């Protein structure tokens, strides 16, 4: 039995994989690409539109685009990834909490990652960019788990369409 097969049969891996229903995480990543393009595109467009009118246009653009991004992302995740019904305001409010939490945590951890990269690798000038990429990947996973278990979780924890459509999984205790 090879190493990867042993990992796949591990009860810890099975417990971890229960949090990623088949297809749902893939849809989350695909929708995330769309959300990222929308977010940056709206920020860039607002910055260009506001530049001739106010002194620090990128700050105003960031705030406005941020609210637009959260709302756009919320709707795409709701309709295409988690496929929940109703509860728009409650779920949108929870999305703000998840995005706020991941943003604060990511911002707090970023200097530590940059420091470690600069001192443990040859990456000096590129350390902030590598750290940002690490942060984006970690944020995508944390965001998925936050949205799945908080933003779009029902109060009764009813089964989502992914769990209903997915084949039964044998879970090892």
Q: What phi, psi does 95 have (nearest 5°)?
A: -60, -40
Over 50: is that where the pLDDT of 90 sits? yes
Cβ–Cβ under 8 Å, residues 81 and 55: no
Residue 119: per-residue pLDDT: 95
Domain count of the fold of the chain? 1
Cβ within 8 Å of residue 128, ≥6 positions away? 110, 114
Which residue range forms the structural domain that includes residue 130? 3-165
When the pLDDT of each residue in the chain is averaged and rounded to a whole number, the result is 78
Residue 140: per-residue pLDDT: 78
**Token pair in block for residue 92:** 């949108």
Residue 171 lies in a domain: no
Q: Taking the complete model, does pTM exceed 0.75, yes or no? A: no
Residue 39 lies in a domain: yes
Residue 66 lies in a domain: yes
Residue 136 lies in a domain: yes
Q: What phi, psi does 52 have (nearest 5°)?
A: -75, -5
Radius of gyration of the chain (CA): 19
Residue predicted with more confidence, 96 or 65: 96
pLDDT (mean) for 23-49: 86
Residue 170 lies in a domain: no
Residue 88: per-residue pLDDT: 92
Total residues belonging to the chain: 173
Q: Convert the pLDDT of each residue in 116-130 to its tens digit.
A: 999 999 988 888 888
Residue 138 lies in a domain: yes
């Amino acid at each position: 039995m090879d190493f990867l097969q042993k990992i796949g049969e591990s009860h810890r891996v099975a417990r971890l994989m229960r949090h990623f229903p088949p297809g749902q995480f893939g849809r989350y990543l695909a929708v995330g690409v769309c959300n990222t393009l929308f977010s940056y595109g709206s920020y860039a467009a607002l910055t260009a539109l506001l530049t001739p009118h106010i002194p620090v246009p990128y700050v105003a653009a960031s705030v406005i685009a941020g609210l637009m991004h959260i709302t756009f992302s919320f709707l795409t995740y709701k309709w295409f990834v988690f496929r929940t019904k109703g509860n728009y305001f409650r779920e949108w409010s929870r999305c703000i909490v998840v995005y706020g939490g991941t943003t604060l945590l990511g911002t707090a951890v970023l200097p530590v990652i940059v420091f470690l990269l600069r001192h443990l690798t040859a990456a000096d000038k590129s350390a902030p960019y590598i750290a940002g990429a690490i942060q984006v990947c970690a944020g995508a996973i944390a965001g998925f788990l936050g949205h799945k278990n908080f933003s779009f979780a029902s109060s009764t924890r009813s089964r989502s369409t992914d769990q209903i459509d997915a084949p039964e999984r044998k879970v090892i205790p």
